[in-house]
Amino acid sequence: MTLLRLINRSLTAALLTTTVAGSAQATTVNRTLFTWTGRVDREVYLTMRGNDVRVSGTDARMANRARVSTALPRGRGDVYLRVNDGRGDVDVVEQPSVRNGYTTTIRVRDPRGGADNYRVTVYWQGDDRYDNRNDNRGNDPWDRRDDRRDDRRDDRRDDRNDDRRRDDRGGDRNGGYDNRGNNESGFLRWSGQVDDVVELRISGRRVEAIARSGQPVREVSSNLRGNGLPSRSVTVRTETQVGRGSVDVVQQPAAWNNYTAVIRINDPRGGASLYDLNIYW
């Protein structure tokens, strides 16, 4: 009897250990990314990539501070938030992905008159079965292998874009300058019917209009003149010909975002409205 009891106890312990281990492998990983405090009168955007948090939008120059707790992982996961203080709307308008270089964007909007104080805590939730193998905090061989594969794909895409730009300039005989000796420049005329928030993403000669909230963009017209957006740091600026809301450059082209310009159109009133923009670089 004693031997049987010992065997039963051993089997029970083994089953419990297996169950606990299986449950641990299926759990999700939750991390606090950063806490942001600041004053908002109309609107700001908080953009995070890696350890970097950037503030843009109408009220970006008002007093604010971001305290980073953990870098945004380069892996599968979702960003969510908690509003500790503030009377307006706070939303995650861009989730991290391979396509955007694992970048997340949060929009803070204050619809009432006057400014208010905001305090927002931002979190990341990932599945450790895919993104946190061995819990090496994003530095495991799986992550490095995925990063190298993404980097190689981006390098090939940049090389193809460079080849196309050299062809457009007649073989790059002038070293990146036109026949009048002017440096590379470009101009985009864009128009469309916008309802709520639309994001324009410009990369090379590719222009995308993405509805972050509200109805899909309608009646889009995009006319790119001159050179596409170059694979180097340039300053993008906008000029609104028609539009009742705000238009902001929330990301300038840089190495960290694969030289992509991101422009946000915010139309706060009900229903869609026509926007006609000139975009220069």
User: How many CB atoms are located within 10 Å of the residue 220 CB?
Assistant: 15
Estimate the share of the chain in helix, then strand, then coil, as percent rounded to the nearest 5. 20, 45, 35
Judge whether 272 and 205 are in contact, CB under 8 Å: no
Which residues in 2-155 belong to E strands, given as ranges? 28-40, 43-49, 52-56, 64-68, 77-85, 89-94, 103-109, 116-127
How confident is the model at residue 277, as a pLDDT? 96
How confident is the model at residue 97, as a pLDDT? 86
- Give the CA distances from residue 140 to residues 11, 90, 137, 216, in Å, rounded to whole numbers and listed in that order: 34, 33, 7, 39
How confident is the model at residue 274, as a pLDDT? 92
Tens digits of residue pLDDT in 12-66? 444 444 444 444 444 456 899 999 999 999 889 999 999 999 998 888 889 999 9
Task: Locate 65 and state its tokens.
Answer: 């501070």
pLDDT in tens for each of the 281 residues of the chain?
444 444 445 544 444 444 444 444 444 568 999 999 999 998 899 999 999 999 988 888 899 999 999 999 998 888 999 999 999 999 888 888 887 889 999 999 998 889 999 999 999 998 654 444 444 444 443 344 444 444 444 444 444 444 444 444 333 333 333 333 344 589 999 999 999 899 999 999 999 999 888 888 999 999 998 889 999 989 999 999 999 999 999 899 988 888 999 999 999 888 888 999 999 99
Instruction: Give the 3-state secondary structure of residue 20.
Output: helix
Tell me the longest C-alpha to C-alpha distance in the chain.
Answer: 99
How confident is the model at residue 188, as a pLDDT? 95
How confident is the model at residue 64, as a pLDDT? 94
